[in-house]
Chains A and B, each alone.
Chain A
Amino acid sequence: MSHIGSYDARLKNFSWAIAEKELGYKPGDVINIGWYCTDRICKLGKGDKPALIWEGSTGTEKRYTYDDIRLASNTIGTFLRGLGIKPGDRVCLFMDKIPELYLGFLGILKIGAIAQPLFSAFGDESLFVRLSNAETTAVITQKKHAPKVRKILDKLPHLKHLIIVDHEGAAPLKEREVAFSLEKAAPIDKFDLYPTKAESPSVLHYTSGTTGMPKGVQHVHYSLISQYLTGKWVLDLRDDDIYWCTADPGWVTGTSYGIIAPFSLGVTQCVFDAGFGAEAWYKFIEKRRISMWYSAPTAIRSLMKAGDDLVKKHDMSSLRHLASVGEPLNSEAVVWSQKVFGKPFYDTYWQTETGCIVISNYPGMEVRPGSMGKPFPGITGVVLDPAKNEPYPAPGKIGLVALKFDWPSRMRTYWNNEEAFRKKFRGGWYMTGDRSRLDNDGYFWFAGRDDDIINTAGHLVSPFEVESALLEHPAVAESAVVSKPDPINLEVVKAFVTLKPGFAASKDLDLDIMNFIRKKLSPLAMPQEIEFVEGLPKTRSGKIMRRILHAKEWGEEIGDTSTLEND
């Protein structure tokens, strides 16, 4: 029997107080995610239970019990306090998936500071816009990533500390730099927890905007309530599970379900800090006896591509429950999963802004391959008629996915951008930016984005940000960036580029531009295809009409071109 039991029965008597009661929280109490993920589990008598089993790309292993992560987060928190980090200060985690990332996240929260995780593959420009917008006080990083921060240090007056967790002492530290070794630091047992309350800020994740720079999605400690309960009812995390969330904590899945949900439930989780490889992943599942696996459609499609024979070479019998997140999971992947693992991947739908799974397939509920599932109990999700900003009276029509904005882990605002936050609402509904239709039984079926944002391998990329960066390349005069279909990543970035006089299209220039964007922004934002064109479609007022280029890439109708400049 799954934790959720009957979905329909849960709908009838739902209250978030179920999670509050299980966590021993009452409104008005202190609620600190760092404490709930460590000290509370120890107080429940599970201090000796493995919390984190980490494996690096070379097979190196590190193991931490719940008492170990309690001590480590205390130690990191104490170190940060010693540097003068105060409650509310933003502390960025800019690391690979090493233990210090997970433990640092908890330590930051324990002192009341705000954890700002950033994907370690970000280039210096991506890093700069996010650190400057957040006015980040400290960055915790590894020596391999420190050079990217050093490049922009002079432009970041608020950044007081660059903390390097693996400094070996050979190279001298530079201005504002400080070394911290978790292994060498004296463990701190007695710790003065900062008494955060429900609405105290906790985590700041950046997400791509349609027209502007990335937006800082601000969450609060009360998000724990949603993350705990969805971890229990959707991921069906159990006390004896060995859990593997493949997401990087640079993104929200990696914190909500790669740190907060499993640790607050006292589950043992494994982390594999290595790049993707089908055989390596199967070996990891077999070796670690993974029972609950939370991954992404791009990875699942890549595993499909690697073939069924590879699966058969490994013992997958430990797998009990599988779930997926990041982009729509195509029905073929669900059917394939059933065939090779004997169980389907359960698709889950949510966003950085929602903080937790909001629409999902559930254990015990019929999985309709290709469907997003149904709203989590306590969450009201509808398909809005875009013309009226009201839910369609009957199912079947494609409209806008909208949510009643009232669950615990919803974002509280965009950092320093209240106007962008207000624009997310229409007629009182929170607009996800996704389109969908409902079937007769209340299942949601994804139909695409409602804006120009590109979802590549589950990560959102802003065309605006890529276009802005392209203009900094010496050869680029103008650019337009759209998505193009991709069998593995769902969508990838494609750029249309016009060149400045004196430059000619060539294979070498194509590669040079690709690498320019990869280093400046990130590998995700790098155009996988560049098309050199003589001109771009524009309105008579000079605005580039991305939708025409998008329609061509997707084989769709171009639609109204009456405003086209050269029509």
Chain B
Amino acid sequence: MADELKDVILAYVTKEYLEDDSEPINYETPLISGGIVDSFSMVSLKRFLENKYNISIPDDKATPEAFDSVNKIAVLVREFAKA
């Protein structure tokens, strides 16, 4: 589920958090520190991942750093998908 996972996350972030004519983002684009997703919106992104992949991400793992790029989010999802 390597690139497919990242592509799903990338597509979701693009659809939900960017305006129609925004600059495109990639796997490395800073999401939280770059101001694309704020700490409140992170809750809905976390909810999406939990629903989509049937996982539960503990609050102490859902840090701004862990959600700061598609690549980092993918690492997190894989960790809890295994668990």
* Chain A residues near B (Cβ < 8 Å): 57-58, 96, 121, 143-145, 147-148, 171, 273-280, 302, 305-306, 456-457, 507-508, 510-511, 514-515, 518, 523-524, 526, 528
Asked whether, in the complex, the Cβ of A275 is within 8 Å of the Cβ of B34, the reply is yes
Asked whether, in the complex, the Cβ of A147 is within 8 Å of the Cβ of B39, the reply is no
Residue of B nearest to A530 (CB): B47
Is B21's CB within 8 Å of the partner chain A? yes
Asked whether, in the complex, the Cβ of B16 is within 8 Å of the Cβ of A121, the reply is no
Is B11's CB within 8 Å of the partner chain A? no
CA distance A518 to B42 in the complex (A): 11
* Chain B residues near A (Cβ < 8 Å): 16, 19-23, 30, 32-35, 37-41, 43-44, 47-48, 51, 60, 63-65, 68
Decide yes or no: A515 and B22 within 8 Å by CB, A274-B33, A275-B33, A277-B68 being known contacts.
no
Asked whether, in the complex, the Cβ of A274 is within 8 Å of the Cβ of B64, the reply is no
Contacts of A147 in B (CB 8 A): 19-21
A301 to chain B, nearest CB (A): 12
Q: Identify which of B22, B38, B47, B63 contacts A523 (C-beta below 8 A).
A: B38
Contacts of B65 in A (CB 8 A): 277-279
CA distance A302 to B38 in the complex (A): 14
Contacts of A456 in B (CB 8 A): 40
Decide yes or no: A518 and B41 within 8 Å by CB, A274-B34, A306-B63 being known contacts.
yes
CA distance A526 to B48 in the complex (A): 14
Decide yes or no: A511 and B64 within 8 Å by CB, A147-B21, A148-B19 being known contacts.
no
Asked whether, in the complex, the Cβ of A171 is within 8 Å of the Cβ of B63, the reply is no
Decide yes or no: A515 and B44 within 8 Å by CB, A147-B19, A275-B64 being known contacts.
yes
Contacts of A145 in B (CB 8 A): 19
Secondary structure of the B contact surface, majority rule? loop
CA distance A273 to B36 in the complex (A): 12
Can you list 8 residue pairs at the A/B interface with Cβ under 8 Å?
A57-B30, A57-B33, A275-B33, A275-B39, A302-B64, A508-B51, A511-B44, A515-B44
Contacts of B43 in A (CB 8 A): 514, 526, 528
A43 to chain B, nearest CB (A): 36
A404 to chain B, nearest CB (A): 36
Count, A-B residue pairs, CB within 8 A: 76
A302 to chain B, nearest CB (A): 8
Asked whether, in the complex, the Cβ of A524 is within 8 Å of the Cβ of B21, the reply is no
CA distance A526 to B44 in the complex (A): 9
Asked whether, in the complex, the Cβ of B33 is within 8 Å of the Cβ of A277, the reply is yes
Residue of B nearest to A145 (CB): B19
Contacts of A305 in B (CB 8 A): 60
Q: Identify which of B37, B47, B68 contacts A510 (C-beta below 8 A).
A: B47
Identify the interface centre among B22, B34, B47: most chain A CB within 10 Å of its CB: B47
A447 to chain B, nearest CB (A): 26
Asked whether, in the complex, the Cβ of B32 is within 8 Å of the Cβ of A275, the reply is yes
Asked whether, in the complex, the Cβ of B39 is within 8 Å of the Cβ of A276, the reply is yes
Closest 4 CB pairs of A and B: A523-B40, A147-B19, A523-B41, A275-B32
CA distance A510 to B63 in the complex (A): 22
Asked whether, in the complex, the Cβ of A276 is within 8 Å of the Cβ of B22, the reply is no
Contacts of A511 in B (CB 8 A): 44, 47-48, 51
Contacts of A148 in B (CB 8 A): 19
Residue of A nearest to B42 (CB): A523
CA distance A147 to B32 in the complex (A): 21
Contacts of B37 in A (CB 8 A): 275
Q: Identify which of A144, A274, A277, A518 contacts B22 (C-beta below 8 A).
A: A144
Residue of B nearest to A121 (CB): B38
Identify the interface centre among A273, A277, A302, A456: most chain B CB within 10 Å of its CB: A277
B39 to chain A, nearest CB (A): 6
Asked whether, in the complex, the Cβ of A277 is within 8 Å of the Cβ of B40, the reply is no
B14 to chain A, nearest CB (A): 13
B11 to chain A, nearest CB (A): 14
Asked whether, in the complex, the Cβ of B44 is within 8 Å of the Cβ of A518, the reply is yes
CA distance A524 to B40 in the complex (A): 6
A528 to chain B, nearest CB (A): 5
Residue of A nearest to B20 (CB): A147
Residue of A nearest to B41 (CB): A523
Contacts of B32 in A (CB 8 A): 275-277
B44 to chain A, nearest CB (A): 5
Asked whether, in the complex, the Cβ of B51 is within 8 Å of the Cβ of A275, the reply is no
CA distance A147 to B23 in the complex (A): 13
CA distance A488 to B29 in the complex (A): 26
CA distance A513 to B57 in the complex (A): 21
Asked whether, in the complex, the Cβ of B44 is within 8 Å of the Cβ of A514, the reply is yes
Contacts of B21 in A (CB 8 A): 143, 147, 171
Asked whether, in the complex, the Cβ of A514 is within 8 Å of the Cβ of B35, the reply is no
CA distance A275 to B16 in the complex (A): 18
CA distance A67 to B32 in the complex (A): 34
Q: Identify which of B23, B33, B34, B47 contacts A514 (C-beta below 8 A).
A: B47
